C-alpha cells in the first residue's frame, strides 16, 4: 500500500479554556453559561474564560471586576490549582501514550513529535483525531489540535482551530495560511513589538515577510528581527524538546491592601521563603541565586538578586539573603502591592554537598514541612511571623 508522505509530523495540542472545563466537568450546572475562573478579590484577574464569557468581551488577564461589569450574568469561580495539576497529568499521560517526544509548553498545552508513527498512520491528522477523542473519553475535557511541519505553525493551527477543533496546515500551503494573518498572531509579538512594527508600517505577516531583514534587526534587535523574519516565512527549526527541567521556582503575592511598613513586608518575605523552601524540597532542588521582587503601588517593579556562597533550599538561608536584598530597596516613600521571592540556578538536592552547618536547619525545615502537610500551612510559623500574622489578617490580607 502506498502511503501519503508524512510531511507534517508536529502536533500542538491545546486544551480549550482548561480551568473552566475542569470546573464544568465537576459541576455540570456551569455548562452553557458564561464562566470565568480566577481571582475573586478586588485585585483578581481572569485566568480562564468560557467561550460564552468571551462572547461578551471577557478575556484572560482582564481584571475580574471589569469582567463582571462587561458580562452581568458572569459566573465567577475561584481557582483550584491542585485539581488543574491533576487534570494536566491525566492529559499529558495520554500524549505520552502516543510518543515519548512530548514537550509541555504550559499546564494545558504540548508539542508532540510524531515522526515515529509514520508506519502506523497514513496521515498525521489521524493522530490528532485520535488524541482529541481520547481526551474526551478519558478526561472529559475538550482539546484542539494543530498539525504542521514545525512547532510554530502547529501552534498557530491549533489556535485557529479553537474551540474544539483540528486544523492541518499542509506542507506547501504554509505561506498562503500565514501571510494574511496580523503580526500579533506571531509567537513573540506582544504590545511592545507590535507597536514597533506598526511604526515601520507593518501590520500583517505578509508585510513582515517582505520587509528587509536588516531593517527588522535594526529596530527589533538582532535576535528578534531574525526570528520574526524567519517565522513570517514559516521557518522554525526548533526541535520538540521533551527535557523540561524547571530553571527557576518562585512565590509571589499581590495584596488586597498595599503594605506600607517594612516589618510587614519582611514578615511576608519570610512567609514566602517558608513556602518556597517547602516547594523546593518537595521537588528535590537547591538554588544558588536568590531573587526578591517588589512592586509598588504605582506598579513600578524592582528586582534584587544575590548569588549565594552555597546552594540552599532552607527558608532560613533564603530569608537571610532576602532581608539583605530588601535593605537595598527604598520602601519608605511608596506602599508595596506585591512581594515575591524566587530561586534560580537550580541543582538537584541529591548532589553531594560539602557544608554540614546547614543540616540542623534542614532538619528544622523538614519538621516544619511535615507539620504543614499534616495540619495545614498555619500550623507552624516562624516566631517572627506568628507575632505579625494577627495584624496581617486584621488588614484583610490572605
Helices (H), the chain: 18-26, 51-54, 64-70, 81-96, 124-139, 151-161, 174-178, 191-199, 205-209, 213-220, 222-232, 262-283, 315-326, 359-375, 383-394
Of 258, 54, 259, nearest to 163 by C-alpha is: 54
Q: What are 363's three cell numbers?
A: 532538619
Our CB check for DNA shows the closer of 121 and 211 to be 211
Residue 109: active-site member: yes
CA-based max dimension of the chain: 76
Residue 213 in contact with DNA, rule: CB under 7 A: no
Site string (227-256) toward DNA, x via CB under 7 A: -------------------xxxxxxxxx--
Beta carbon of residue 128, minimum distance to DNA (angstroms, whole number): 18
Stretch that binds DNA, among 121-129, 142-150, 172-180, 301-309 (CB under 7 A): 301-309
Distance set, CA 200 to CA 95, 136, 189, 218, 219 (Å): 41, 45, 14, 11, 9
Distances (CA, A) of 62 to 117, 213, 379: 41, 35, 35
**Residue of 8, 21, 23, 109 with catalytic role:** 109
Comparing CB distances to DNA, the nearer of 98 and 152 is: 152
The residue whose grid cell reads 503601588 is 297
Residue selected from 338, 365, 381, 385 as contacting DNA according to rule CB under 7 A: 338
CB of 365 to DNA, least distance (A): 18
Check residue 189 for interaction with DNA (CB under 7 A).
yes
What mask of x and - would describe binding to DNA in positions 22 to 61, judged by CB under 7 A?
----------------xx--xxxx-x------------xx
> Quick one: which of 243, 15, 164 has its CA closest to 23?
15
List the one residue from 118, 179, 262, 304 that touches DNA (CB under 7 A): 304
CA 3 vs CA 49, 104, 126, 289: distances in Å: 41, 30, 13, 53
Among 54, 56, 62, 320, binds DNA (CB under 7 A): 62
| 268 binds DNA per the rule CB under 7 A | no
Between 78 and 378, name the residue whose CB sits nearer to DNA: 78
Place of cell 494543530: 146
When asked if residue 309 is in the footprint of DNA (CB under 7 A), the reply is no
Residues 168-187 that bind DNA (CB under 7 A): 186-187
Q: Count the residues of the shown chain that bind DNA, applying the rule CB under 7 A.
A: 57
Judged by CB under 7 A, which stretch of 26-34, 192-200, 201-209, 261-269 contacts DNA? 192-200
H/E segment holding residue 246: none
Stretch of residues binding DNA (CB under 7 A), selected from 190-198, 202-210, 231-239, 389-397: 190-198
Query: Judged by CB under 7 A, does residue 382 bind DNA?
Result: no
Buried-exposed string 78-104: b where 16+ CB fall within 10 A, e elsewhere: ebeeeebeebbeebbebbeebbebbbe
Work out which of 124, 234, 315, 340 binds DNA, going by CB under 7 A: 340
Q: Which of residues 94-113 bind DNA (CB under 7 A)?
A: 105-109
C-alpha span between 345 and 392 (Å, rounded):
32
Contact between 82 and DNA per CB under 7 A: no
Q: Report how far residue 8's alpha carbon sits from residue 144's, in angstroms, rounded to the nearest whole number.
A: 16
Nearer to DNA, 75 or 228 (CB): 228
CB of 107 to DNA, least distance (A): 7
Please report how close the Cβ of residue 192 comes to DNA at its closest, in angstroms: 3
- Residue number with CB closer to DNA (126 or 248): 248
* Site membership for DNA, residue 375 (CB under 7 A): no
Using CA atoms, how far apart are residues 236 and 163, in angstroms rounded to an integer? 25
The CA distance from 128 to 134, in Å, is 10
* Rounded-to-integer distance, Cα 28 and Cα 267, Å: 42
Q: How far apart are CA 8 and CA 154, in angstroms?
A: 9
Question: Which residues of this chain interact with DNA, rule CB under 7 A?
Answer: 38-39, 42-45, 47, 60-63, 65-66, 105-109, 155, 186-194, 221-224, 246-254, 289, 291, 299, 301-307, 328, 337-338, 340, 342, 344
Residues serving a catalytic function are 109
Amino acid at each position: 500500500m502506498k502511503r501519503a508522505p508524512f510531511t507534517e509530523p508536529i502536533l500542538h495540542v491545546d486544551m480549550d479554556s482548561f480551568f473552566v472545563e475542569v470546573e464544568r466537568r465537576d459541576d455540570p450546572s456551569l455548562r452553557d453559561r458564561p464562566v470565568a475562573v480566577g481571582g475573586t478579590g478586588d485585585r483578581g484577574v481572569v485566568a480562564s474564560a468560557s467561550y460564552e464569557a468571551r462572547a461578551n468581551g471577557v478575556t484572560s488577564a482582564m481584571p475580574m471586576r471589569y469582567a463582571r461589569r462587561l458580562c452581568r450574568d458572569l459566573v465567577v469561580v475561584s481557582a483550584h490549582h491542585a485539581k488543574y495539576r491533576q487534570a494536566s497529568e491525566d492529559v499529558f499521560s495520554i500524549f505520552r501514550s502516543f510518543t515519548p517526544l512530548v514537550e509541555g509548553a504550559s499546564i494545558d498545552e504540548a508539542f508532540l513529535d510524531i515522526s515515529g508513527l509514520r508506519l502506523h498512520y497514513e496521515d498525521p491528522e489521524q493522530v490528532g483525531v485520535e488524541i482529541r477523542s481520547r481526551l474526551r473519553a478519558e478526561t472529559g475535557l475538550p482539546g484542539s489540535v494543530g498539525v504542521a511541519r514545525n512547532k510554530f505553525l502547529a501552534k498557530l493551527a491549533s489556535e485557529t482551530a479553537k474551540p474544539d477543533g483540528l486544523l492541518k496546515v499542509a506542507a506547501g500551503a504554509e505561506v498562503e495560511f500565514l501571510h494574511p494573518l496580523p503580526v500579533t498572531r506571531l509567537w513573540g509579538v506582544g504590545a511592545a513589538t507590535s507597536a514597533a512594527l506598526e511604526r515601520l508600517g507593518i501590520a500583517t505577516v505578509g508585510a513582515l515577510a517582505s520587509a528587509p531583514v536588516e531593517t527588522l534587526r535594526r529596530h527589533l534587535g538582532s535576535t528578534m528581527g531574525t526570528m520574526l523574519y524567519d517565522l513570517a516565512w514559516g521557518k522554525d527549526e526548533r526541535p520538540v524538546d521533551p527535557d523540561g527541567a524547571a530553571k527557576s521556582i518562585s512565590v509571589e503575592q499581590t495584596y488586597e491592601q498595599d503594605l506600607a511598613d517594612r516589618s510587614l513586608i519582611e514578615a511576608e518575605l519570610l512567609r514566602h521563603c517558608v513556602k518556597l523552601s517547602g516547594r523546593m524540597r518537595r521537588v528535590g532542588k537547591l538554588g544558588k541565586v536568590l531573587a526578591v521582587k517588589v512592586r509598588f503601588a504605582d506598579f513600578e517593579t524592582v528586582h534584587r538578586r544575590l548569588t549565594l556562597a552555597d546552594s540552599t533550599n532552607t527558608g532560613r538561608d533564603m530569608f537571610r539573603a532576602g532581608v539583605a536584598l530588601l535593605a537595598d530597596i527604598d520602601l519608605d516613600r511608596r506602599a508595596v502591592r506585591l512581594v515575591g521571592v524566587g530561586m534560580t540556578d537550580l541543582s538537584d538536592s541529591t548532589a553531594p554537598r560539602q557544608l554540614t552547618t546547614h543540616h540542623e536547619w534542614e532538619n528544622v525545615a523538614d519538621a516544619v514541612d511535615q507539620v504543614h502537610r499534616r495540619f495545614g500551612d498555619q500550623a507552624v510559623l516562624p516566631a517572627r511571623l506568628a507575632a505579625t500574622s494577627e495584624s496581617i489578617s486584621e488588614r484583610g490580607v490572605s
